[in-house]
Chains A and B, each alone.
Chain A
Amino acid sequence: MNLLRRPFFWIIGAVILVFALAPAYHGNVELRESLLLATVYITLASSLNMMLGYAGYVNFGSIVFFGLGGYFCVWLMSAHGWPLAAAALAGGVAVSAAGLLFGLGILRLRGAYFALSTIGVIEAVNAFVTNFAPWGGSSGMYLSPVLFEPLGGARHALWTIYYLLVAVMGMSLYLSYAVKRSKFGLGLLAIGQNEGAASVLGVPAPRYKAIVYSLSAFLPAVAGGLYFFKGAFIQPPDAFDLQLSTEVIVIAMLGGQGTVAGPAIGAFLYEQLRGWLLTSPTFANFQLVVAGALLLAIVLFAPGGLMGSLYRRWPRLRGFLE
């Protein structure tokens, strides 16, 4: 089936266009910074969704991809003088490859055991990087401001990074959509529903799981590279933040795991909510309390998330939003 003929394909295109154009109008930097965070959240949630929503594997360690991507990118730029785009892409490829190796190992576990092992992955990578001298150990790595020069200085570079992140977000949405509509995606959905039955029907579960784990690592790693380049600084607690990992799961479930639009909508809403809660100093980190309450409410009252509820009320919606 041709994706180009489906309305949802163009809806994604429109969303990307709005993200690209809205802050450019009047050069609204504040809006750009808010949307930049949204692009990161959407990339993380859409990628995680392929694991969580399609294949049914809860991954608490998805932030490792983001953090490692950041480390690779910052290291390649500062120690080896790579240009930004090449460094970020190389980070994505390296983390994806590492994900494939890891995936073949830990994906032998199922259910809660897999979920626990992913927390182990976060802690292990965190401990490794904290003691890894070439990457600055526990004090991390800084980027020299000189590195912003090829992008036309800091002010211009921030816009470039934003557009690159919008592109990465767009790719994550299209990737998530293309996978869902593919034979590979159908196999993943079958695994998510009943891995034993899927296997008996011929779905090569071990290979598919490892591939989707690796695939779900790629764009978050690229986004991590861009994000930490923007901050010009990376250290283990920021890169491997279990809290952010958990928030991404909440986001995917809030929007509706297994749907393409859900995690994106969830990410956008959550980012807005978080921004609003963070502005109040009394409520420092209060968004976590809200995230916890949200998760509880979703699991109890709307297991299908926002999209699930929408579909139930308007089944016709399935033709437009997927």
Chain B
Amino acid sequence: MSALLEVVALGKYFGGVRAVQSLSFKMKEGEILGLIGPNGAGKSTVFNLINGVIAPDAGRVLFRGADITAAPPYRVAREGLARTHQIVQPFMTLSVFENCIVGACFGRENLPLARGREAAREALAMVGLEDRLDAPASQLTIAGKKRLELARALSARPTLLLLDEVLAGLNPTEVEYMIGVIRAIRARGISILMIEHLMQAIMNLSDRILVLNSGMRLCEGLPAEVAADPAVIEAYLGDPHLADSLRAGAP
């Protein structure tokens, strides 16, 4: 089986700063891959490189076999790759509904307006915003805007969804709700590549985890393997022996 998403030797410099360096990984259809790493590891840059917001200096991005390296974002979206932003970017004066219709009409299926409305309604129901259809996006709370951001990406009926910290800034109840939504999305057969800092959540949700540090791959594997890897613990905690002492101290 060919990979859904294949990233080959991706590289990006910002001036002298090496943001991402020779990064390669693959994703299978139906998988949830977690992307973690300390702040500034280059996780969001990887997203931007994949969906064409910025062009890479080196490497290639293949999506369902097609080369989408440096393709403009709107073309990548049409291919069936949707994303959310870490800092939500709703169309403030448009209604919640209209925000999602944009996602539906210009997404993978390139729907006409009438059918875009159906897709938008469906996506809004999935995130529990169906009773706020006519509210201007600006009137939503932060949690609401996060849900809208997700619904808008879902409206496109994507094959692969890139989630950039959808849980950040939410309270525990909201996090719980959002985790349920993400599981429901996966149950629909949509593959997910997600960046997340909430370790417990991402360890639970992901099939595999890819750890990034200073723009390079640190390790990759099952959540349990990654969590036990001394290199990962060092990257996060700064002391490789801290892991041992923690484990020794554990009951």
Contact with A along B12-25 (1 / 0, CB 8 A): 00000000000000
With a cutoff of 8 Å between Cβ atoms, the chain A residues found around residue B106 in the complex are 187, 198, 201-204
Main secondary structure of the interface of A (DSSP, over half): helix
Known contacts A186-B98, A190-B91, A193-B93; is-contact A200 B116 (Cβ 8 Å): no
What's the nearest-Cβ distance from chain B to residue A114, in Å?
19
Query: Footprint of B on A, CB under 8 Å?
Result: 1, 182-183, 186-187, 189-190, 193-194, 196-206
Cβ-defined contact, A197 with B91, below 8 A: yes
Cβ-defined contact, B113 with A186, below 8 A: yes
Cβ-defined contact, A1 with B114, below 8 A: yes
Write the chain B residue with the least CB distance to A208. Answer: B74
Q: How many A-B residue pairs have C-beta atoms within 8 angstroms? Tell me.
A: 74
Cβ-defined contact, B51 with A200, below 8 A: yes
- Distance A200 CA – B77 CA, assembled complex (angstroms): 6
What's the nearest-Cβ distance from chain A to residue B212, in Å?
21
- Distance A200 CA – B71 CA, assembled complex (angstroms): 11
Cβ-defined contact, A193 with B92, below 8 A: yes
Contact with A along B110-150 (1 / 0, CB 8 A): 10111010000000000000000000000000000000000
- Distance A284 CA – B107 CA, assembled complex (angstroms): 54
Known: A1-B113, A187-B105. 5 other contacts (CB 8 A): A1-B114, A189-B98, A190-B102, A202-B106, A203-B102
Query: What are 28 A-B interface contacts by the 8 Å CB criterion?
Result: A1-B113, A1-B114, A182-B113, A183-B113, A186-B101, A187-B102, A189-B98, A193-B91, A193-B93, A193-B94, A194-B90, A196-B89, A197-B85, A197-B89, A198-B91, A198-B102, A200-B51, A200-B73, A201-B74, A201-B106, A201-B107, A201-B152, A201-B153, A202-B106, A202-B107, A203-B74, A203-B102, A204-B75
Does B72 reach chain A (CB closer than 8 Å)? yes
The residue in B51, B72, B105, B116 that gathers the most chain A C-beta atoms within 10 A of its C-beta is B105
What's the nearest-Cβ distance from chain B to residue A318, in Å?
10
What's the nearest-Cβ distance from chain B to residue A25, in Å?
41
